[in-house]
Structure 1
Amino acid sequence: MPNRTTVPQRLTEAVPALNARDLIGRDDELDLLQKALWNQKQVVLVNGMGGIGKTALAQSYIASTYDRYAHIAWVQQSSENFKQDLISTPGLLQALNVSPEGEIDSLFTQIIQAMCSLHQKPNLLVIDDASNSLAKIRDSLPRQPHWHLLVTSRQEIAGFEPKHLGFLTETSAVNLFKRHYQRTDLSDGDVKFLVRLVDYHTLTIELLAKVAHRQRTSLVKIQHAIENDLQANVYIDHQQQGEKVERIRSYLCSIFTTEALSENEIQLLKLLVCLPAEFHSFFTIEALISSETGIPADSLSDLLESLRESGWLIFSDSDNSYKMHQVIQRVLQYKLNVLIDDVSPLLESLTGKLSIDQTKDNPVDKFQWVPFGKRFLELFELQHSLELSRLQNNLALVLQDLGDYEGAKALLEKALASDEQNFG
């Protein structure tokens, strides 16, 4: 068994630490994390959507408490097989004097036994980007009081009490941008506009700021960075591998992986990409997504919950509503290659919701669907199908009743041009 003279403090080759000055707007979360691990003796799961700052928070925690731990291990979960990921963590087997020969289950048991047999305490095990598969071996992991276990994940993992990491405040988001953007070409108003544009998403703010600083990018160019897959050539602070981010959208697509999702989950994500990036009640989503979309009516609630638990959707308890974050929405539009044929039942549903029967309908009842029609047409603005022209026509008539005559006129002109193209 390992002893106190042969085992280094760093049990893994990588023990990434982030200076507290680079962790903008997370002082309260860092304080709560320390209290939970040291005073309340909890196993902490930092939970939140991808790119919100979970890994950076864990790295900053290491930097602020490094000297308080006898041994520290950082394990990156990169697959659904945590045992294999643990065994493959560079430096771990050597540090614990465990022979690399043997079956996975046997090596996993030897590693855990070696960790639990360390004489010096307390110790820290960080598991970054964990998946639901971790729940299967939860009881085998080193635990309090001698081991502090800190897990980051986009998912809510059974058996772990989640501590949700929310979005930055506008002030913190602006400060984060200015931390990486030292020039004066962009005004304070420009910076506020950009952080709102990406809905205060931490990773995207850092990316945009570094690109704007390095390449002296204009406001017009940087605000379309995701859509245009703007060249980046920058590094991200919390990135362990030290790989350069070549292009913004391509990098974000690599962050939001969809391989583990079911066919129905993929189809539902495609439909949600076409909705405004706002909170929508379950009943609103249910009213728009018919069985013709490929989503069984009795599965919708379960699918929404599954996507929420895995970090694809944000949920509001107060009004039972779901939201897809703007950054995720914009990335998935390209990653899933959302085509109008994929969402044609939603187009038909929206066209019907915005249709006014003058003999029985009250136009006011149609107003709630205006943002949905606008979003759909915005997504497919370069296409000219007969079905789209019907939506343009119906939305225009509702806008007319709303008093938006210019908006109605513009849509009717588009519908006319589309019909001329389709019918000659």
Structure 2
Amino acid sequence: MGPEVVNKNKNCVFNGPYAGRDLYITMYQESEREFVVTHNANIKPVSYFTGRETELKELRQRIEEGRKSVLVSGMGGIGKTHICRKLFEEYLNKHAEDGNGPFRHIGYIEYSGDMDGSLQNCLKFKQQDSPENNREAAWRELEYLASDGKLLLFVDNVDKTLGADPGLQRLRGIPGAVVLTSRQASFSDDFEPYRIGFLDMEQCKEIYEKIRYEGSRGKIGPEEVEDLEYIIENLAGRHTITVELLAHLARTKPWTVEKLREELGQKGFRLAFHKNGELVNIQESYEVLYDLSSLTDAEQNILEAFSVFPYIPLAAETCNQWLLADAGVSEDDDILMGLYQKGWLQFAVEQESYAMHPVFAQFIYEKYKPNTEKHTGLIEACRDYMEIPDSGSALMSEVYTFF
């Protein structure tokens, strides 16, 4: 019995390969499909996730009604991704407990570049004998998974409009619940907006404490509360990722809350916002935190390299192969884990992979404008890993290198 496929034109299921138009697409058998139909994405919520009970409840309701939503905020680093990962974990755990739930399949896609490429990177689908056919094979697989309306799909960090990405337009026709995250204030009538606001003071303090004293029994003392609330409200503006970075900074120094406030005050650190919620001085403010982190030349080289990557996990082994030589360090230096502990990189334990949040990537890219001279090893590694299809050319492939 051959692989199971969907003839999209006739809306029926049959056994054997599918030849449609000029394509010959082979798909998975049903027995090969799992509850989680994606990979290559960091789906683990952070250990310090807190609050958002109202948002989680309201989004659960939307999801289980099969509605399409887009989580929006005027800035990055407010917590949209954390919410999606938490919801994903909830449905995954429920399925593991009793095999029940409203969905037959769930998936998590980290958007990078366009929907076509992101889908091929994250969705589990039958690879074709021709790279040109993989794009359509991925879409056929997604359409089949969603054909009964029991697919829940998250697409994180969408940075294009529907008009700029035909793949996003195609996503509108996928049955079932789809949750996007985006900084686009206006996305599409097909996706209901759900605005994500700031965490409250108590939740910000809890995040700070969990990161600052991770692995210990330490707590914020009563005498520190006033200074911490001042930092969170007046200097960081309850901006989630900035509160996290400040906690990492205080932990690695190590500084008391009073010392942290003193250092920030001396350097003139204070985030400022437009009336519509956008950060207006993130570049100059993050310059302060960057300087306070006391980064070595090697660490700065690594961060520069990450600033040109898309926001998708990069395996630790790949990071070592691509980045360490340019930075002049070895694996024994454990520089990547050090940057995670300082708060500048994210680390996914289960995947053993690293990534840089887009807020940090944008800041560092604008600060340093990475150039080829400092990253020749990375460029050569990318060229070595690049696969050029029969219809492509080595010259045209240069657009996919980072510099």
User: Which residue of structure 2 lines up, in the alignment, with residue 22 of structure 1?
Assistant: 48
| Aligned equivalent of 1:110, options 137, 149, 162 | 137
Distance 1:181 1:34, change over 3 A: same
Which residue of 69, 94, 110 maps to 1:76?
A: 110
1:127 aligned counterpart, secondary structure: strand
Measure, in 1, the Cα distance between the counterparts of 2:140 and 2:245. Answer: 41
Instruction: Give yes or no for contact 1:76–1:127 (8 Å, CA) kept in 2.
Output: yes
Q: 1:126 to 1:50 in 2, by over 3 A?
A: same
SS at match of 2:107: strand
Q: Secondary structure at the match of 2:250?
A: helix
2:59 corresponds in structure 1 to 33
Q: Are the equivalent residues in 2 in contact too, given 1:43–1:143 (CA < 8 A)? A: no
Contact kept, 8 Å, 1:24 with 1:172, in 2: the verdict is yes
Query: Which residue matches 2:263?
Result: 221
Q: 1:132 to 1:333 in 2, by over 3 A?
A: closer
Please state how far the C-alpha of 1:174 moved relative to its aligned partner: 1.5
AA matched with 2:63 = L
Q: 1:28 to 1:250 in 2, by over 3 A?
A: closer
The TM-score with structure 1 as length reference comes to 0.51
Structure 1 range deviating more: 6-15 or 221-230? 221-230
> Displacement, 1:254?
5.3
Other-structure match for 1:201: 239
Match 2:183 to one of 125, 146, 154: 154
Structure 1, residues 206-246: CA drift from partner, whole Å, max 9, x if none?
12113312331232235657315132899xxx985576546
Partner of 2:293: 231
For the residues of structure 1 that align with 2:131 and 2:193, how far apart are their CA atoms? 35
Give the Å deviation of 1:189: 1.3
| Structure 1 position 82, deviation (Å) | 2.3
Equivalent residue number for residue 191 of structure 1: 228
- Taking the TM superposition and a 5 Å limit, the aligned residue runs for 1:113-192 are 113-118=140-145, 122-135=150-163, 136-141=166-171, 145=175, 147-156=176-185, 157-159=187-189, 160-182=191-213, 183=218, 187-192=224-229
User: 8 Å contact 2:212–2:251 — kept in the other structure?
Assistant: yes
- 1:120 offset after TM fit, Å? 7.3
Q: 1:153 offset after TM fit, Å?
A: 0.9
> Once the 2 structures are TM-superposed, how far is the Cα of residue 4 of structure 1 from its aligned partner?
2.2
Measured on the aligned residues, the alpha-carbon RMSD in Å equals 3.7
Does 2:149 correspond to 1:87?
no
Any gaps of 5 or more consecutive residues in structure 1? 259-330, 338-424
**Residue in 1 that maps onto 2:359:** 255
SS in structure 2 opposite 1:117? helix
Name the SS of the counterpart of 1:128 in structure 2.
strand
1:62 has 2:88 as partner: yes
The residue type equivalent to 2:206 in the other structure is: N
Contact 2:109–2:118 (CA under 8 A) maintained in structure 1: yes
Q: 1:132 to 1:172 in 2, by over 3 A?
A: same
Comparing both chains, which one has the higher relative contact order based on Cα–Cα distances under 8 Å and sequence gaps of 6 or more?
2
Report if the CA contact (8 A) 1:253-1:332 is conserved.
no
1:78 maps to amino acid: S
Once residues 141 and 31 of structure 2 are traced to their aligned partners in structure 1, the CA distance between those partners, rounded to angstroms, is 14
1:289 equivalent in structure 2: none
Q: TM (normalized to structure 2)?
A: 0.54
2:272 matched to which residue of 1? none
Q: Distance in 1 between matches of 2:252 and 2:360?
A: 25
Quickly say closer, same or farther: Cα 1:222–1:239, change in 2 above 3 A: farther
Larger Rg: 1
Counterpart AA for 1:124: L
CA distance in 2 between partners of 1:82 and 1:144 (Å): 13
Report the Cα offset of residue 87 of structure 1: 1.9
Q: Secondary structure of the equivalent of 1:5? A: helix
| Matched residue, 1:296 | none
Q: What letter matches 1:122 in structure 2?
A: K
| Number of the residue aligned with 2:70 | 45
- Aligned identity (percent) is 20
- What residue identity is the alignment partner of 1:36? R
SS of match in other structure, 1:129 = strand
Cα distance in 2 for partners of 1:210, 1:34 equals: 32
Matching residue's letter, 1:193: Y
The number of residue pairs the alignment matches comes to: 253
The alpha-carbon distance between structure 1 residues 20 and 37, as it changes in their structure 2 partners (threshold 3 A), is: farther
Alignment partners' CA distance in 1, 2:118 and 2:174: 22
Residue 11 (structure 1) shift: 2.1
